[in-house]
Amino acid sequence: MSDDRFDLVVIGGGPGGYVAALRAAQLGLRTACVDKRGLFGGTCLHVGCIPSKALLHSSERYAEVRHELADHGIRVEGVSIDLARMMARKQETVDELARGTAFLLKKAKVEMIGGAARIAAPGRVEVELQGGGTRALASERILIATGSDSAPLAGVPIDEKRIVSSTGALALERVPQRLVVVGAGAIGLELGSVWSRLGAEVTVVEYLDRILPGMDGEIARNAQRVLARQGLAFQLGREVKSAEASDARVRVTAATRKDGKQEVLEADVVLVAIGRKPYVEGLGLEALGVARDARGFVTVNERFETSVPGVFAIGDCVPGPMLAHKAHEDGVACVEQMVGQHGHVDHLRAPSVVYTWPEIAAVGETEEALVERKADYRVGKFPFTANARAKITGDTQGLVKILADAKTDRVLGVHILGPLAGDLIAEAVSALEFGASAEDIARTCHAHPAMGEALMEAALAVDGRALHV
Ligand SMILES: Cc1cc2nc3c(=O)[nH]c(=O)nc-3n(C[C@H](O)[C@H](O)[C@H](O)COP(=O)(O)OP(=O)(O)OC[C@H]3O[C@@H](n4cnc5c(N)ncnc54)[C@H](O)[C@@H]3O)c2cc1C
């Protein structure tokens, strides 16, 4: 086999692409993974999940020292922020994980290629190499895993300094006095929380009348109350029309959706976080005839095959939740199917987590979805105020909400606002995967004192027999 002939060429080294490449190598496919960054890990590692969580963690420590330690009898004086160090720590975490990802790919004998790839024809990929020159790769299977990019907002031009996308908001050189966040989804709330904790006055402007669209409404309302108490101001039902940056400030014009009344907000920095769009630029998909839907996502069947034989697609550039673990799952299932195995991804069982504090996590159906499909369901709720571990740590805000089928008791959805919700949700995901009933969770022995007991109590509450409320 020539050096440039592979069994699989993966374009994009994000959590979809690099995981697919690792799994393909495990399955014996000679695999190449191309990324134009020249580094592997994708959006998630370089400008997404990891740097945002690093800043969330650091800013949480700062907020804890300022607002919570005194209550524990710990006096700390002269607390201040060294933002340059905080940013350097974030980058060190990213760099270390990037080295780990490259190590894994090398160990698996995946050929890593730094450069921008284009599909010249089915079975043929051309790469503009990072160091100059081109390289042609031949493979009967090509996997598109090129991810996504921030969605732009008309009238609000991003310069990544004053008007920023999430990428700019992860790298501000000083704490803005006033930050306007456009969009109350996960990214807006997470990055709004970071800068609010570090001292910015943060206003979140959202088009809809609620925050966290797509998540359970009751949990979102509770989350909004908690975040407002932490200092985030919310302007809901408002459409941002334009933003203009001058030397001194940015002027944001927003209109109330109900009556069109306009108001100008002034800020030092504006973060546009209205969602993400699939990224497939430069791949040559039009010429190749790869079909895309009205929103630009590459259309695939249940085997992740595009409309062109031999060309597959996964992750953020195909329909479904735009999440790193979903991209990862897609990658594994896609490659397993290529070799005749039976990989499968169920989007309804992909958890989603918002890493504010408290965290917000969900899996399965929301109450709104159950009402809409006229399902017969029961609800069990348990507040963290009644959980011993939460009392000990002082993290009593929030609740666990379990939705179960009224007849079969099968768990349909679990929604958590509370401490470590992002970890607690794993039990709920397993429950859904195994088709568990609320009774199964209720009868599972949970360690004491632990946050997980709240899940058990909410499951008991489905049957009206919670013990600690
Ligand atoms: C601020 C932020 C926070 C986030 N937090 C979370 C979180 O906490 N949890 C979570 O699950 N998700 C989170 N996400 C979403 C997550 O990052 C994405 O869902 C995930 O990265 C998608 O993976 P992917 O492999 O499909 O694509 P990506 O990670 O976007 O990777 C695609 C790769 O393809 C490369 N590429 C593109 N075109 C070409 C080409 N022509 N040739 C070669 N290479 C190319 C790009 O350089 C990129 O590295 C966050 C996103 C952002 C922006």
Pocket test residue of 146, 330, 354 for ligand 1, highest count of atoms within 8 A of CB: 146
Q: What is the DSSP string of 55-104?
A: HHHHHHHHHHHHHTGGGGT----S----HHHHHHHHHHHHHHHHHHHHHH
**Residue-wise pLDDT tens digits, 149-208:** 999 999 999 999 999 999 999 999 999 999 999 999 999 999 999 999 999 999 999 999
**Residue-wise pLDDT tens digits, 276-316:** 999 999 999 999 999 999 999 999 999 999 999 999 999 99
Assign 3-class secondary structure to 267-313: ECEEEECCCEEECCCCCCHHHHCCCECCCCCECCCCCCECCCCCEEE
Cα gap 334→338, rounded to integer Å: 6
356 lines ligand 1 (CB under 6 A): no
143 lines ligand 1 (CB under 6 A): no
Q: What is the pLDDT of residue 1?
A: 46
Distance 108 CA to ligand 1 centre (A): 22
* Residue at 346: amino acid letter: D
Pocket test residue of 10, 23, 44 for ligand 1, highest count of atoms within 8 A of CB: 44
Q: What is the pLDDT of residue 2?
A: 57
**Residue-wise pLDDT tens digits, 92-115:** 999 999 999 999 999 999 999 999
Distance 25 CA to ligand 1 centre (A): 21
Atom of ligand 1 nearest to the CA of 167: 1
318 lines ligand 1 (CB under 6 A): no
What's the mean pLDDT in 19-43? 98
pTM greater than 0.95? yes
Distances (CA, A) of 56 to 85, 182, 443, 465: 14, 19, 35, 37
Percentage of the chain surpassing pLDDT 90?
Answer: 98
Cα gap 346→330, rounded to integer Å: 10
Going by C-beta distance under 8 Å and a sequence separation of 6 or more, which residues neighbour residue 32? 6, 8, 9, 10, 21, 110, 111, 112, 113, 137, 139
Cα gap 130→78, rounded to integer Å: 47
